[in-house]
A and B are shown apart, each in its own frame.
Chain A
Amino acid sequence: MALLSVEDVDLGYGELTVVHGLTFEVNAGEVVALLGPNGAGKTTTMNGISGVLKPKRGRIVLDGKNLAGRAAHHVVAEGFRHVPEGRRVFGTLSVKENLRLGAYSLRKKPSLIAERVKEVYDLFPVLGERREQLAGTLSGGEQQMLAVGRALVTRPRVLALDEPSLGLSPRMQHEILGVASDLASQGTAVLLVEQNVREALRIADRAYVIELGRVVLTGTGKELAADKRIEATYLGGGSDELESEAAEA
């Protein structure tokens, strides 16, 4: 029995269905990557699990409990944390306030919040140095650390990262994905949507390739990294390096 299983889920906006009968699972201690072109439905899938978007059909089961259709704050309390694309930190609030809000579901236990926020400062010392600074004044990499830290304060069982390395320098990309990999080795299930397919497959135990809202290919990270179709579509032509350089600039 997987920790998180997404079973035959349809998702969309109004009349439009973007994700069709999507089925996949994530086990504790594993990094699972969702790959696919823009518009494949990866972000929609993340929103559907985290309760920002209500599924039209299907079940989303976390540790035996069906989360499909439950409000986002219930999903957070059940241990699923979604770090959205573009980081979405609260720019007008301080770093410390952002982290404390990440622990909003623990608000009845202020001393626990303080302890968890301190753990994030230990993991990302730069956030500790800048705790009183407004989050909007941080660099892109620091904002990504804050966005991840904001999710870690509740010690999630499943951590979903949507494009965590987008717009970051190669060094920072490496660092953020390294943190994801470490968390998985400590038992957290990590669900990863990542434009840097080479890096994603390097740390992923398994991956699902999604096109037009359906799973078209699945396998271990190693298998997919060696797969000719993946090679041609996502890894070919050295375009990654170009993208990384552009991102760094």
Chain B
Amino acid sequence: MDTFIQVVLTGFTIGSFYALVALGYTMVYGIVRLINFAHGDLVMVGAFFGWALLQLDWIEGMPMLPRLIVAGAGAVVGTSLLALVLLRTLYTRLIGRSTLGFMLVTLSVAFALEEIVKLIFGAQQKYYPPNDLSSETIDIGGVAVNGMDLVVIGLAGTLMVGMIWFAHRTITGTAMRALAVDHDAARLMGINVSFLIAAAFVIGASLAAITGILSGTYYGRVSFDMGFALGLKAFTAAVIGGIGNIGGAVLGGLTIGLLEAFVQGYLAGAWSDAVIFGALILVLYIRPSGILGERVAERA
């Protein structure tokens, strides 16, 4: 029973990482119908921004929590600015003009970001400072639970609920869903389309940076190549959930995290990719548009 509960917790933790990254893929796809393959590497960039900030002298004396918050805020701002610069300089001219061009450019940016970080910081893993929660277990109803699992699940869960609320309960979120249907009609509503595209990139980059910091804190280490596989699995999560759908990204991310945890806990870690991509094929075979994918006619 203890193993089962720990596996479920780990599943939700890994799933939270996938879900937060999947939200970025799905928001951008929802608005411009394109996949940003550099998105996974923004997690890595965020993790390195955070690592670099944690090394600063003036921040080192602080207690762990404020230290992480300052580093996290810096990582969010830095990663968002990077995403905005990439959008303005490289992506904007391709959106709506060349689907293949956009995908190839984002793929190139993914590799470029990895190489640049490797040149600056080296190929070795970098270690996040240890924190009390990772080493401590909390006793909940007789089960020993890792404190960091609860932190990740709590923070990510809040962000996921916040994103679903944003998409459905705010007028800006509603406008973003309208952009999935018809850009020109949205313009005629008075919606500033290029501003909302930028906003979607910034929100996605912020969630990626938070994932980077959380992952660095949770695993204790980061490396220049941590983003690509994570990004690919998060993209899979977004597709399984129904790409373009905010709730679908959350559902897909948690599904993949739980699958991975159960395979690692009861089978063997080596099987987890086979099971995850097998699940992708199965879901798409049964529901080509994903679990929560759009089924309603967009225009009558």
- The interface of chain A, by Cβ under 8 A from chain B, is 50-52, 71-73, 76-77, 81-84, 86, 88-93, 97, 100-102, 104-105, 107, 110, 113, 134, 136-138, 140, 143, 150, 154
Per CB-CB distance, the 5 closest pairs between chain A and chain B, nearest first, are: A76-B190, A72-B187, A105-B190, A88-B185, A104-B190
CB distance A91 to B300 under 8 Å? yes
CB distance A81 to B178 under 8 Å? no
Closest Cβ of chain B to A230, distance in Å, is 30
Closest Cβ of chain B to A166, distance in Å, is 13
Given the complex, which residues of B lie within 8 Å of A73, measured CB to CB? Answer: 187, 190-192
Assembled-state Cα–Cα distance A83/B185 (Å): 9
**Can you add 15 more A-B contacts, CB < 8 Å, to A97-B174, A101-B178?**
A71-B187, A76-B188, A77-B190, A90-B177, A90-B178, A91-B299, A93-B177, A97-B178, A104-B171, A104-B189, A104-B190, A134-B296, A136-B296, A136-B300, A150-B189
CB distance A71 to B192 under 8 Å? yes
Given the complex, which residues of B lie within 8 Å of A102, measured CB to CB? Answer: 189
CB distance B297 to A91 under 8 Å? yes
Q: Which of A92, A138, A140, A143 contacts B180 (CB 8 A)?
A: A92
CB distance A88 to B300 under 8 Å? no
Q: Can you name 12 A-B pairs with beta carbons within 8 Å?
A: A50-B188, A52-B188, A81-B188, A83-B188, A88-B182, A88-B185, A90-B177, A91-B298, A92-B177, A102-B189, A104-B189, A138-B300
Q: Count chain B residues whose beta carbon lies closer than 8 angstroms to a beta carbon of A.
A: 24
Given the complex, which residues of A lie within 8 Å of B187, measured CB to CB? Answer: 50-52, 71-73
Q: Is B181 an interface residue (CB 8 A)?
A: yes
Known contacts A92-B294, A101-B174, A101-B178; is-contact A154 B190 (Cβ 8 Å): yes
Q: Is B132 an interface residue (CB 8 A)?
A: no
Closest Cβ of chain B to A109, distance in Å, is 11
Q: Which of A52, A88, A107 contacts B172 (CB 8 A)?
A: A107
Q: Is B184 an interface residue (CB 8 A)?
A: yes
Q: Is B175 an interface residue (CB 8 A)?
A: yes
Assembled-state Cα–Cα distance A52/B187 (Å): 7
Task: Report B226-238 CB contacts with A as 1/0, cut-off 8 Å.
Answer: 0000000000000
B158-185, CB < 8 A from A: 171-172, 174-175, 177-178, 180-182, 184-185
Assembled-state Cα–Cα distance A96/B132 (Å): 49
Closest to B179 in A: A90
Given the complex, which residues of A lie within 8 Å of B296, measured CB to CB? Answer: 91-92, 134, 136-137
CB distance A143 to B171 under 8 Å? no
Given the complex, which residues of A lie within 8 Å of B186, measured CB to CB? Answer: 101
Given the complex, which residues of A lie within 8 Å of B192, measured CB to CB? Answer: 71, 73
Assembled-state Cα–Cα distance A52/B190 (Å): 11
CB distance B178 to A93 under 8 Å? yes
CB distance B178 to A82 under 8 Å? no
Residue among B171, B296, B300 having the largest count of chain A Cβ atoms under 10 Å:
B300
Known contacts A90-B182, A136-B296; is-contact A84 B174 (Cβ 8 Å): no
CB distance B188 to A72 under 8 Å? yes
Known contacts A101-B175, A136-B296; is-contact A91 B190 (Cβ 8 Å): no
Assembled-state Cα–Cα distance A86/B185 (Å): 11
Closest to A150 in B: B189
Residue among B180, B185, B294, B298 having the largest count of chain A Cβ atoms under 10 Å:
B185
